[in-house]
């Protein structure tokens, strides 16, 4: 069985502590209590495995925010939830800006309390899992520069370890931005040819004539401007590996010439008539369905049989979501060093949003997005507002990282005003669907109905 969730409840009112202790114990928590900030710090130091802290804001000597700041100086501090009977929008904003996980105002809605604590603990566990993954990657190292610990990537790495040491031609299938060239480098690194050259060429980046000259080389006078002999990539890869990226863009004429080389292991440079022999292992990659290309008469079936002795599918990022936190942390660390920005990480809300994004541009898009966020960052931790261009203004506005809070009027607003407005806007975004709105708001459908009644919104939603 999983160990019980451990919570520290801090309140200077003994009766309030007793009520909360009974309720949370019924919820399955192991409850620790403290009646002051100093006592809470003693409990924290005696129980470093705390999952969450629930503390009152107004306490003598050391208030809830002061306690949070003291705990935050410690490494791996647990998530902190503030509760107060004196909530104003400004106090809530201040608490959230300083890193408090959430806040609740009294009298407590115990159903809402349960949801808020569950959410804070999930974020805590995700943070711990990420730290474990990071330590694992640091200990084991990435797989030839490829970051990933998900089951689908583990299968890819196993296949690379099996196929790499052979001389078999490999065709890598994968969407744009998935890291096909990195995988080709991994195959080369796992092979006996690792001491030889790895030569890469992007077939989609060159015209037919330029690609032919780059691939096979040419002799002096082969065409206007050919002032001397030039070795092609095929010859430069002798004793090593040649990687042809986006091979589906190669013309039929060049496909035929490449097929001839694979059959005879000899080729003639452009303008030459003397055969040259090289020892090269071929790797190729495509983001196209070559079977469909064959049916359309745009690709030679015989060439596919030659280059796809082994087929290797590289999954898109949306199929390996478990790897996103590790990739994000890796890119944040790399970009913060590259651009001399003191960014230490990403908020839990922003990380959750990044994990839920579909990423049509895959890892390449994620790297670009993180680089932009780091460059434009104003603080040490990236929040939802730093990814608003990617996620959209409305999505970023759903979190306390931005949106309603950033537009707070000068005269301030009460928590009730903000909650009422948030409920109205969320219902509008959901087209009046209360179940969907409750899910977005992080409360139960029953809790939403109660709030609609409380703010006089029930009739307008019927």
Domains 318-405 and 414-461 share a fold: no
Give the model confidence (pLDDT) of 98-153 as tens digits: 778 888 878 888 888 888 898 888 877 776 766 666 566 555 547 888 988 889 99
- pLDDT above 50: residue 256: yes
Kindly state the average pLDDT of the residues 58-76: 82
In CATH, what is the architecture of 151-315?
3-Layer(aba) Sandwich (3.40)
Residues 6+ apart with CB under 8 A from 192: 165
Q: What percent of the chain has pLDDT over 90?
A: 45
Q: Where are the alpha helices (DSSP H) in 227-289?
A: 233-236, 252-264
Lowest mean pLDDT among 62-71, 148-157, 241-250, 309-318: 62-71
pTM: 0.60
Query: Could you tell me the maximum CA-CA distance found in the chain, to the nearest angstrom?
Result: 97
Spatial contact of 121 and 129, defined as CB atoms under 8 Å apart: no
Nearest to 257 by CA among 203, 311, 293, 220: 203
Kindly state the average pLDDT of the residues 408-429: 69
Cα 240 to chain center, whole Å? 34
Residues 6+ apart with CB under 8 A from 392: none
- pLDDT above 50: residue 9: yes
Kindly state the average pLDDT of the residues 432-451: 76
- pLDDT above 70: residue 354: yes
- Which top CATH class is 6-137? alpha beta
CATH superfamily of 414-461: Homeodomain-like (1.10.10.60)
Average per-residue pLDDT in the chain? Answer: 84
In CATH, what is the architecture of 318-405?
Orthogonal Bundle (1.10)
Spatial contact of 56 and 87, defined as CB atoms under 8 Å apart: no
Kindly state the average pLDDT of the residues 345-363: 89
- For position 93, what pLDDT does the model report? 64
Residues 6+ apart with CB under 8 A from 220: 226, 227, 228, 229, 271
Give the model confidence (pLDDT) of 162-209 as tens digits: 999 999 999 999 999 999 999 999 999 999 999 999 999 999 999 999
- For position 403, what pLDDT does the model report? 43
What does the domain layout of the chain look like in residue ranges? 6-137, 151-315, 318-405, 414-461
């Amino acid at each position: 069985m999983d160990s019980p969730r451990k919570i520290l409840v801090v309140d200077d009112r003994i009766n309030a502590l007793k009520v909360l202790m009974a309720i949370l114990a019924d919820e399955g928590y192991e409850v620790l209590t403290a009646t002051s900030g100093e006592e809470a710090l003693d409990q924290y130091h005696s129980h470093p495995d705390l999952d969450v802290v629930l503390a009152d804001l107004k306490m003598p000597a050391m208030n809830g925010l002061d306690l949070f700041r003291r705990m935050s100086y410690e490494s791996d501090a647990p998530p902190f939830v503030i509760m107060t009977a004196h909530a104003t929008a400004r106090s809530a904003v201040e608490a959230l800006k300083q890193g408090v996980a959430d806040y609740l105002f009294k009298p407590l809605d115990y159903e809402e309390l349960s949801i808020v604590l569950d959410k804070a603990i999930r974020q805590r566990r995700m943070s711990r899992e990420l730290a474990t993954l990071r330590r694992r990657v640091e200990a084991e190292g990435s797989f030839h520069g490829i970051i990933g610990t998900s089951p689908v990537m583990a299968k890819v790495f196993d296949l690379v370890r099996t196929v790499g040491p052979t001389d078999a031609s490999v065709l890598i299938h994968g969407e744009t931005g998935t890291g096909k060239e990195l995988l080709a480098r991994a195959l080369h690194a796992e092979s006996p040819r690792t001491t030889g050259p790895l030569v890469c060429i992007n077939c989609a980046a060159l015209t037919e004539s330029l690609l032919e000259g780059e691939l096979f080389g040419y002799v002096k006078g082969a065409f206007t401007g050919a002032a001397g002999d030039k070795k092609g990539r095929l010859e430069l890869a002798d004793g090593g590996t040649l990687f042809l990226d986006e091979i589906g863009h190669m013309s039929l004429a060049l496909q035929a010439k490449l097929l001839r080389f694979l059959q005879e292991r000899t080729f003639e440079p452009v303008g030459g008539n003397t055969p040259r022999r090289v020892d090269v292992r071929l790797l190729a990659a495509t983001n196209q369905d070559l079977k469909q290309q064959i049916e359309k008469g745009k690709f030679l079936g015989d060439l596919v049989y030659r280059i796809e002795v082994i087929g290797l599918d590289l999954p898109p990022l949306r199929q390996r979501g478990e790897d996103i936190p590790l990739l994000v942390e890796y890119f944040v660390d790399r970009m913060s060093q590259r651009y001399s920005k003191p960014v230490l990480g990403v908020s839990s809300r922003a990380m959750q949003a990044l994990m839920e994004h579909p990423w049509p541009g895959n890892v390449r898009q994620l790297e670009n997005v993180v680089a932009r966020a780091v460059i434009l960052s104003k603080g040490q931790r990236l929040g939802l507002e730093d990814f608003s261009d990617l996620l959209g203004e409305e999505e970023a506005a759903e979190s306390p990282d931005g949106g309603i809070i950033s537009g707070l009027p000068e005269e301030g607003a009460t928590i009730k005003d903000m909650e009422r407005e948030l409920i109205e806007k969320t219902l509008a975004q959901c087209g009046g669907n209360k179940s969907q709105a409750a899910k977005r708001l992080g409360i139960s459908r029953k809790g939403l109905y109660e709030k609609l009644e409380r703010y006089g919104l029930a009739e307008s939603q019927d």
